């Protein structure tokens, strides 16, 4: 929310939101979405407390009117611009309990419970240096008893922001871990690594017996193993680097918080760490631009008789059957006029081109026509990998082509 007033509420296309009421300082809505294959519904109120105490008192008098009448699950979150105890404030004027009474009365009147948080206590800072710096917990998440009973495992994370003076509130609701192993995916940014080529070469130096095609598959599997190890231990996941930078920044800010008179070196270290994190953000944005891809996941699907399928294997089988039957019929019919249509015929020269052996140059030409960053094959390697390491994969591909030609001519 800016000083001129106004709030934004954004949601994904798979979420259904019905706005029940709104003003410059709140948005009150009903939310319907699917969580872990189960339909859920709850009431959400996003709130911004006015910086002026007199206006804020009037807001807290209005908020209880939004309380759901039935036993609906209700979550209230936002920047309330109020603290409830001295532990939620550091620096500046001491905590004023009398000033906090209207806010505390509102929480009691709405029968709300503070979900607490994971992370640093404070969600806002004035970003001043030395003794002028102030920290406060102004952002919080409140829920009613119905929410607590239904969503037993709800966590609130104070997510670090490098450019904004407030932290983000990240809500995790009944998050069930995905036990499926993450498939290997080639990352284009690996090409920037100085030792990346060495890992690929080591994989292709491994002796593998069998046909050229079998040998290529085995070497690509070895390449996957090498790159996974190299990415984790040498190149480093970008997300891991960002988490490390964020963790280090939180350590520095904790030292600033706990010291009576923090020195200029700590504030300088804080500034340096923020700059490092911003550099990583730029690197991440560049990677997204180069390797942008849409990810979708089907949580449920209906079968021909209307039954809802939620198991992954059932969904996969249903999709396979659908597309397998899409262009077939159990009662084929053929119009006799179709048989009388004169169709163009290939010349003798064209027919010979279709049956002539595939030249190795044609394979390379076809490979170069492929977009380097399009969706990878089942092995997880995009075309850019084969562009870059053609000199390594060429012997196996040429050998496989030769073997295929011999097999065809032997039939």
pLDDT computed for residue 253 by the predictor: 78
322 occurs within a structural domain: no
The count of domains in the chain is 2
* Same domain assignment for residues 114 and 138: yes
Query: Average pLDDT of each block of 10 consecutive residues along the chain (411 residues)?
Result: 69 94 94 86 95 94 92 94 92 90 94 89 86 90 91 87 83 64 78 79 84 88 89 72 80 79 82 80 63 53 76 81 74 68 82 83 90 82 90 90 78 55
Residue 126 lies in a domain: yes
> Which of 106, 36, 115 lies closest to 73 in space, CA to CA?
115
**135 shares a domain with 239:** no
* Any domain includes 335: no
- The answer to whether residue 51 sits within a structural domain is yes
72 touches 146 (CB < 8 A): yes
pLDDT at position 1: 46
Instruction: Based on the fold, state whether residues 127 and 62 are members of the same structural domain.
Output: yes
Are residues 396 and 289 part of one domain? yes
Do 193 and 162 lie in one domain? The reply is: no
Domain co-membership, 251 together with 269: yes
Measured between alpha carbons, how far is residue 24 from residues 59, 101, 210 in Å?
11, 23, 71
β partners of residue 32: 16, 41
Given a contact cutoff of 8 angstroms between Cβ atoms, the answer to whether 189 and 149 are in contact is: no
**160 shares its domain with 193:** no
Same domain? 41 vs 128: yes
| Strand partners for 54 | none
Q: Give the closest residue to 95 by CA, choosing from 67, 137, 61, 60.
A: 137
The model's pTM is 0.50
Structure tokens at 209: 């017996």
Instruction: Kindly state whether residues 166 and 193 are assigned to the same domain.
Output: no
CATH code of the domain containing 101: 3.60.10.10
Q: Are residues 134 and 63 in the same domain?
A: yes
**Cβ 388 vs Cβ 196: under 8 Å:** no
Residues 113, 46 within the same domain: yes
Interatomic CA distance for residues 103 and 99, integer angstroms: 8
Q: Is 66 part of any domain?
A: yes
Are residues 364 and 225 part of one domain?
yes
Dist CA 56 CA 391 (whole Å):
69
What tokens were used for 108?
A: 């009691």
How many Å apart are CA 151 and CA 141, to the nearest integer? Answer: 14
Query: How many other C-beta atoms are found inside a 10 Å radius of the C-beta of residue 65?
Result: 9
User: Could you give the C-alpha distances from 302 to 6, 14, 33, 329, in angstroms and in order?
Assistant: 41, 17, 17, 21
Enclosing domain of residue 408: 183-294+350-411
Task: List the structure tokens of 118.
Answer: 């994971």
């Amino acid at each position: 929310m800016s000083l001129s007033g106004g709030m934004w509420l954004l949601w994904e296309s798979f979420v259904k939101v019905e706005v029940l009421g709104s003003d410059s300082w709140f948005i009150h809505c009903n939310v319907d979405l699917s969580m872990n294959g189960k339909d859920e519904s709850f009431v959400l109120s996003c709130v911004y407390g006015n910086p002026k105490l007199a206006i804020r008192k009037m807001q807290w008098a209005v908020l209880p009117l939004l309380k759901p009448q039935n036993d609906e699950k209700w979550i209230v979150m936002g920047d309330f611009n109020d603290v409830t105890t001295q532990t939620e404030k550091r620096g500046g004027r001491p905590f004023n309990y009398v000033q906090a009474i209207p806010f505390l009365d509102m929480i009691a009147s709405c029968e709300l419970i503070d979900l607490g948080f994971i992370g640093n206590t404070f969600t806002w800072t004035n970003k001043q240096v030395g003794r002028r710096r102030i920290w406060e917990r102004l952002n919080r998440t409140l829920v009613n008893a119905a929410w607590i009973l239904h969503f037993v495992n709800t966590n609130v994370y104070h997510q670090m922001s490098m450019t904004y003076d407030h932290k983000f509130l990240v809500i995790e609701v009944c998050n069930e871990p995905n036990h499926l192993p993450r498939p290997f995916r080639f990352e284009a940014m690996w090409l920037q690594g100085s030792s990346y080529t060495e890992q690929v070469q080591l994989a292709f130096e491994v002796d593998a017996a069998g046909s050229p095609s079998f040998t290529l598959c085995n070497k690509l599997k070895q390449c996957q193993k090498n790159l996974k190890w190299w990415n984790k231990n040498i190149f480093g996941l970008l997300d891991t680097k960002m988490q490390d930078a964020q963790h280090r920044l939180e350590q520095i800010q904790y030292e600033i918080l706990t010291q009576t008179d923090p020195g200029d070196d700590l504030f300088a270290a804080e500034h340096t760490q923020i700059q490092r994190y911003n550099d990583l953000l730029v690197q991440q944005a560049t990677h997204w631009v180069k390797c942008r891809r849409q990810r979708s996941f089907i949580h449920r699907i209906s079968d021909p008789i209307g039954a809802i399928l939620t198991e992954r294997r059932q969904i996969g089988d249903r999709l396979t059957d659908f597309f397998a039957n899409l262009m077939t019929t159990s009662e084929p019919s053929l119009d006799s006029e179709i048989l009388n249509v004169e169709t163009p015929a290939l010349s003798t020269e064209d027919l010979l081109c279709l049956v002539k052996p595939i030249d190795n140059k044609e394979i390379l030409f076809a490979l170069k026509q492929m977009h380097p960053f399009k969706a990878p094959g089942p092995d997880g390697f995009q075309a850019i990998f084969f562009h870059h390491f053609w000199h390594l994969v060429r012997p196996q591909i040429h050998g496989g082509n030769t073997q295929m030609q011999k097999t065809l001519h032997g039939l």
